[in-house]
C-alpha cells in the first residue's frame, strides 16, 4: 500500500504527471524535460527526484547529463491495481444494464395493458 500512496502522491502534482507523459515516448535529459515543460532546471530536478523516490523513473548518468526514463515495473503495478477497480465497475454497469432492461420490459407491459384497457372501454363505451 505504501508504494501506491507514494506513487499517487507523486503523480498528483501536474508537472510530475506531465514529466511521466513526456517520458512515455522515451528517455530524456533533465534539460529537455525542463525546456518542454517551461520549468527551470532545479524545479525539474526536484520533480524528478520525487518521481524517482516513488519508483516511477530511473536515472542514467551519461557524461555530464542525467537521462531519465520510466520504470515499466512500477507502472505495471499501478495498472494491475487499477484493473481490480475496472472489473468492479464493469460488473456494476452490467447490473445497471440488466436493471434498466427489466424496467423497460415492465414499462412496455404496463403501456400494453393501458392500450388494451382503453380499447376495451372504447368497444364497450
Shared domain check, 92 and 39: no
Domain count, the chain: 2
Shared domain check, 6 and 65: yes
Q: What is the pLDDT of residue 21?
A: 96
Full domain range(s) for residue 41: 2-70
Q: Give how far Cα 88 sits from Cα of 7, 40, 75, 94, 97, Å.
A: 22, 42, 21, 10, 14
pTM, to two decimals: 0.66
Shared domain check, 63 and 13: yes
Per residue in 29-76, pLDDT (tens digit) is 999 999 999 999 999 999 999 999 999 999 998 888 899 999 988 888
Do the domain assignments include residue 27? yes
Shared domain check, 66 and 6: yes
Beta bridge partners of 60: 67
Amino acid at each position: 500500500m505504501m508504494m501506491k500512496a507514494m506513487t499517487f502522491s507523486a503523480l498528483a502534482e501536474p508537472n510530475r504527471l506531465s514529466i511521466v507523459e513526456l517520458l512515455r515516448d522515451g528517455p530524456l535529459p533533465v534539460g529537455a524535460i525542463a525546456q518542454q515543460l517551461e520549468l527551470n532546471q532545479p524545479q525539474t530536478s526536484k520533480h524528478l527526484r520525487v518521481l524517482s523516490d516513488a519508483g516511477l523513473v530511473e536515472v542514467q548518468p551519461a557524461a555530464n547529463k542525467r537521462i531519465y526514463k520510466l520504470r515499466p515495473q512500477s507502472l505495471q503495478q499501478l495498472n494491475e491495481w487499477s484493473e481490480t477497480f475496472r472489473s468492479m465497475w464493469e460488473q456494476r454497469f452490467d447490473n445497471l444494464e440488466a436493471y434498466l432492461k427489466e424496467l423497460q420490459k415492465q414499462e412496455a407491459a404496463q403501456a400494453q395493458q393501458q392500450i388494451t384497457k382503453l380499447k376495451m372501454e372504447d368497444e364497450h363505451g
